[in-house]
């Protein structure tokens, strides 16, 4: 998207190869040098990027959705990225969320789903978690673009006088800022110093939503800004079945019509349905939506989202992408596919005691258990227990108990009772963030002689959990917690050292409260071990003599990958399997 002013260019297909300096105008279409069959361009001058016919510049894959929200655009985008990564391409991703929030940090997870935390502390949409897990990359705040971020930036520029004399408008100022944000995220370096070959851009919401209009206009402009081989648009739609089992294409036709009214054309249509769609349905969509039949991809519901890339491979999407984007046809590395389809030889059931009871709120936990299970050939079944309604005796039926993170007082006593049951009955226990704090409270009440132990977050009592000093007096909630990567030093001879196999780790955090330093000595004298610390902050706890009683102040699930399961989850599932065998013996 960047076009430079002056470059030395060698015309190697000229009858007499010549070298000269040229000026590239903002409208590249005025330059004959971009005619693919005319000149071969070699850069001599120093600069960042120039559009050329060499094919070594950024390519953009846009993913939009129609008919209804929640069709799986994020999984589609992540799957396309995985397919390309399996062929050796470096892939990054951007999620556009049209809401006015600056980020997802203050949104109700019961409505919006999990708040995923990136390494830099950004609180983002759960789809970025899918990108990181499928592509095995680490993203930053720039990869989640919201209406709030874009408008705030433009308004700040206007107040500084950057647009002095201009009337600031949606077009061009907002759309230009959107394109700039996409470009900056696409060109951000990976940890190894390389940059992506291909950038996925998922536009949240549904085509036709009023809040997404500026983003779709920016996407439309990008098609004109970029060479044809550097841009492709994938449209995800719903293809329902009627009572006779016939697939109905009318919703897709209307969705594509709405897309066309915005000046956009779908190069690939991914049709979401319960069952695979057949050739007749594809032929009909092809005819009505003006694209080849090979570009109509069936995306039927599968048991595991990690199977989606394989199903899309079978549909031939890799060939369509390669042809449209001018990519080399490479053989796919199938090792990732073999990993995520590994057969299970055993099964365990884990009780997750929570107050939401909505799977999308805890999607990273669910996926981390799956990663650990795959590595151990063990299927992990999850029983979702309402912290306010479950019966205590139910807990004995499960192979392990997990208490996830969260905020607020509701359901706290039920979670504490579940932790006590796990501790007293030698059931493997894993506590995460709030689960870590509640494990501390439970031990303080029942083993350290502090019967009114509680958290400062919950009200009156002895605050064995206190607010972080830097949090006191804050007036704003958004982006103000202890967020992102922090290191932790591990004590030798502990379970933590055994499961991580190192003396220092880096994990992602999201919390306002911590173990009160005034009670650490008393808790440890009572037998609790704080096995990892960040300076004077407690990061892990464990209980010697218990089969597996372990909790973390951080969220290890945010760094778990199918190829690299999180160590706490891996050992937890292993302990659950051992507990099951003990019960069966």
- How far apart CA 39 and CA 24 sit, in angstroms, is 15
Which of the residues 433, 442, 514, 539 is marked catalytic?
Answer: 433
Residue 540 annotated to the active site: no
- How far apart CA 497 and CA 488 sit, in angstroms, is 11
Which of the residues 181, 557, 574, 576 is marked catalytic?
Answer: 557
**Which residue carries 């779908």 as its tokens?**
266
Residues 53 and 229 sit within 8 Å (Cβ to Cβ): no
Q: Are strands 462-467 and 513-515 parallel, antiparallel or unpaired?
A: antiparallel
Q: Are strands 549-552 and 513-515 parallel, antiparallel or unpaired?
A: unpaired
C-alpha gyration radius of the chain? 27
Q: Residue 386: beta bridge partners? A: 354
Residue 433 annotated to the active site: yes
Residue 427: both structure tokens together: 């059931």
For residue 152, what are the contacts with CB-CB under 8 A and spacing of at least 6?
102
Distances (CA, A) of 521 to 514, 525, 527, 538, 554: 15, 6, 10, 12, 21
Dihedral angle sign, alpha carbons of residues 480, 484, 490, 495: positive
For residue 244, what are the contacts with CB-CB under 8 A and spacing of at least 6?
none
Residue 114: both structure tokens together: 């999990």
- How far apart CA 171 and CA 184 sit, in angstroms, is 20
Dihedral angle sign, alpha carbons of residues 397, 306, 565, 505: negative
| 199 phi/psi in degrees, rounded to 5 | -120, 125
Which of the residues 143, 463, 511, 555 is marked catalytic?
Answer: 555
Grouping H, G, I as helix, E, B as strand and the rest as coil, residue 455 is: strand
For residue 357, what are the contacts with CB-CB under 8 A and spacing of at least 6?
384, 386
Residue 555 annotated to the active site: yes
| 266 phi/psi in degrees, rounded to 5 | -80, 125
Which string of DSSP letters, residue by residue, matches 74-140?
Answer: HHHHHHHHHHHHTTT--EEEEEEE-SSSSSSTTS-HHHH---EE-TT--EE-THHHHHHHHHT----
Give the catalytic positions in this structure. Answer: 433, 555, 557
């Amino acid at each position: 998207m960047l076009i430079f002013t002056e470059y030395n260019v060698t015309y190697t297909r000229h009858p007499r190869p010549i070298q000269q300096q040229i000026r590239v105008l903002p409208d590249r279409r005025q330059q004959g040098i971009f005619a693919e069959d005319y000149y071969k361009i070699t850069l001599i001058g120093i600069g960042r990027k120039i559009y050329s016919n060499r094919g070594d510049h950024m390519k953009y894959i846009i993913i939009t959705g129609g008919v209804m929200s929640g069709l799986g655009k994020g999984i589609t985008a992540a799957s396309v990225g995985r397919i390309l990564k399996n062929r050796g391409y470096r892939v990054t991703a951007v999620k556009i969320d049209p809401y006015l929030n600056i980020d997802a940090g203050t949104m109700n997870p019961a409505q919006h789903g999990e708040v995923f935390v990136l390494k830099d502390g950004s609180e983002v949409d759960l789809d970025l978690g899918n990108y990181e897990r499928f592509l095995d990359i680490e993203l930053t705040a720039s990869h989640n673009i919201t209406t709030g971020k874009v408008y705030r930036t433009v308004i700040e520029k206007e107040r500084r006088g950057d647009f002095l004399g201009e009337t600031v408008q949606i077009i061009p100022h907002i759309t230009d800022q959107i394109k700039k944000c996409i470009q900056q995220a696409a060109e951000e370096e990976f940890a190894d110093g390389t940059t992506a070959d291909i950038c996925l851009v998922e536009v949240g919401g549904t085509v036709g939503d009023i809040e997404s209009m500026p983003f779709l206009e920016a996407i439309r402009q990008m098609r004109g800004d970029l060479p044809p081989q550097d841009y492709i648009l994938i449209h995800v739609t719903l293809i329902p079945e009627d009572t006779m089992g016939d697939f109905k294409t009318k919703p897709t036709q209307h969705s594509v019509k709405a897309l066309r009214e915005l000046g956009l054309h779908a190069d690939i249509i991914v049709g979401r349905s319960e069952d695979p769609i057949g050739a007749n349905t594809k032929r009909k969509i092809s005819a009505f939506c003006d694209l080849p039949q090979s570009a109509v991809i069936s995306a039927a519901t599968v048991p595991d989202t990690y199977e989606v890339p394989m199903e899309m491979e079978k549909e031939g999407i890799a060939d369509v992408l390669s042809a449209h984007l001018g990519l080399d046809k490479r053989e796919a590395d199938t090792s990732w596919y073999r990993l995520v389809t590994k057969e299970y030889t055993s099964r365990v059931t884990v009780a997750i005691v929570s107050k939401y009871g909505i799977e999308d709120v805890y999607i990273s936990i669910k996926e981390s258990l799956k990663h650990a299970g795959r590595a151990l050939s063990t299927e992990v079944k999850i029983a979702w227990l309402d912290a306010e309604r479950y019966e205590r005796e139910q807990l004995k039926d499960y192979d392990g108990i997990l208490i996830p993170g969260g905020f607020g007082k509701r359901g706290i006593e039920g979670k504490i009772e579940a932790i006590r049951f796990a501790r007293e009955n030698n059931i493997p226990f894993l506590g995460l963030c709030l689960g870590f704090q509640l494990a501390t409270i439970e031990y303080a009440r029942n083993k350290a002689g502090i019967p009114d132990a509680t958290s400062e977050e919950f009200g009156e009592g002895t605050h064995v959990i206190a607010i972080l000093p830097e949090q006191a007096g804050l007036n704003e909630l958004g982006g103000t917690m202890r967020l992102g990567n922090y290191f932790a030093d591990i004590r030798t001879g502990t379970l933590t050292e055994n499961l991580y196999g190192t003396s220092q780790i880096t994990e992602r955090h999201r919390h306002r409260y911590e173990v009160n330093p005034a009670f650490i000595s008393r808790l440890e004298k009572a037998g609790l071990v704080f096995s990892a610390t960040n300076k004077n902050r407690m990061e892990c706890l464990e209980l010697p003599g218990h089969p597996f009683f372990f909790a973390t102040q951080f969220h290890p699930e945010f760094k778990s990958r199918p190829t690299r399961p999180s160590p706490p989850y891996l050992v937890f599932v292993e302990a659950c399997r051992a507990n099951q065998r003990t019960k069966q013996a």
